[in-house]
């Protein structure tokens, strides 16, 4: 199974970037896409009221997204959301009638069905504090973005208290990211090998 691993951190030397690399390496059949390396306008200049042609980098990224069986997103939590760079990338690439559509009854329908997902999320705040805030970054990315577009299930791996973490803890996190990548690859292999009647259940 092919995977697209999206690194949404602007800094290539960040923990998030390192986690994305380790996850992709451990998965094996994965393309690592660092949003910071793409050339594109992250602003939807006319919203959804007019066409904004995709730049070559975004067109290639969309092709990778549509071709992948599994989509992983690595991101930090900034101001209870994702970095503006990642948000702009998602705004531009998750196009109506390609990644989602609205039915005649007005309800949305995700068009990225048959894809599974993983989020690797870092935060300076501890886990208990995120619970107090209602976990808006997870709700935004997991529920209202990936699952909205039909990606299911979306598994979540957290790395909290980053600001206080020592080298040993960070090294352990890299191993956890690798374990998640390997587990997702095994899971997809089992799914691909199962009879069609079982995979549709």
Range of the domain at 185: 3-199
**CA 32, chain centre distance (Å):** 11
Q: How far apart are CA 21 and CA 121, in angstroms?
A: 14
Compute and round to an integer the Cα radius of gyration of the chain.
17
Confirm if 81 and 118 have CB atoms less than 8 A apart. no
DSSP secondary structure code for residue 151 in this structure? -
Instruction: Give 118: exposed, middle or buried? Use CB within 10 Å, 0-12, 13-18, 19+.
Output: buried
CATH of the domain at 106: 3.40.50.360
H runs (alpha helix) in 136-195:
136-138, 167-193
pLDDT bin (cut points 50, 70, 90) of residue 188 is confident
Q: So what's the pLDDT on residue 199?
A: 43
pLDDT bin (cut points 50, 70, 90) of residue 192 is low
Instruction: Name residue, tokens 């790395």.
Output: 159
Which of the residue ranges 37-41, 123-127, 128-132, 161-165 would you say has the lowest mean pLDDT? 128-132
Q: So what's the pLDDT on residue 1?
A: 58
Mean pLDDT of 93-102: 96
| Domains of the chain: total | 1
Q: So what's the pLDDT on residue 125?
A: 85
Tens of pLDDT, residue by residue over 21-38, are 999 999 999 999 999 999
Confirm if 115 and 150 have CB atoms less than 8 A apart. yes
Tens of pLDDT, residue by residue over 134-165, are 889 999 999 999 999 999 999 999 999 999 99
pTM for the whole structure = 0.91
pLDDT of residue 58 exceeding 50, the answer is: yes
Share of the chain above pLDDT 90, in %: 83
Query: What mean pLDDT is reported for the chain?
Result: 92
Tens of pLDDT, residue by residue over 38-52, are 999 999 999 988 889
């Amino acid at each position: 199974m092919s995977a697209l691993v999206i690194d949404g951190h602007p800094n290539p030397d960040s923990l998030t970037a390192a986690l994305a690399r380790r996850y992709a390496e451990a998965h094996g059949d994965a393309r690592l896409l660092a949003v910071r390396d793409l050339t594109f306008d992250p602003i939807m200049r006319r919203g959804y009221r007019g066409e904004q042609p995709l730049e070559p980098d975004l067109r290639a990224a969309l092709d990778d997204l549509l071709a992948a069986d599994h989509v992983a997103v690595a991101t930090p939590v900034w101001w209870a959301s994702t970095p503006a760079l990642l948000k702009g990338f998602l705004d531009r690439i998750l196009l109506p009638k390609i990644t989602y559509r609205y039915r005649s009854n007005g309800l949305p329908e995700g068009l990225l069905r048959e894809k599974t997902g993983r989020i690797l999320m870092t935060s300076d705040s501890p886990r208990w504090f995120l619970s107090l805030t209602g976990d808006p970054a997870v709700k935004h990315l997991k529920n209202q973005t990936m699952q909205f577009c039909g990606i299911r299930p979306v598994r979540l791996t957290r790395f909290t208290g980053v600001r206080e973490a020592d080298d040993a803890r960070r090294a352990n996190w890299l191993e956890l990211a690798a374990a998640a990548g390997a587990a997702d690859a095994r899971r997809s292999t089992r799914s691909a090998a199962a009879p069609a009647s079982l995979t549709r259940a």
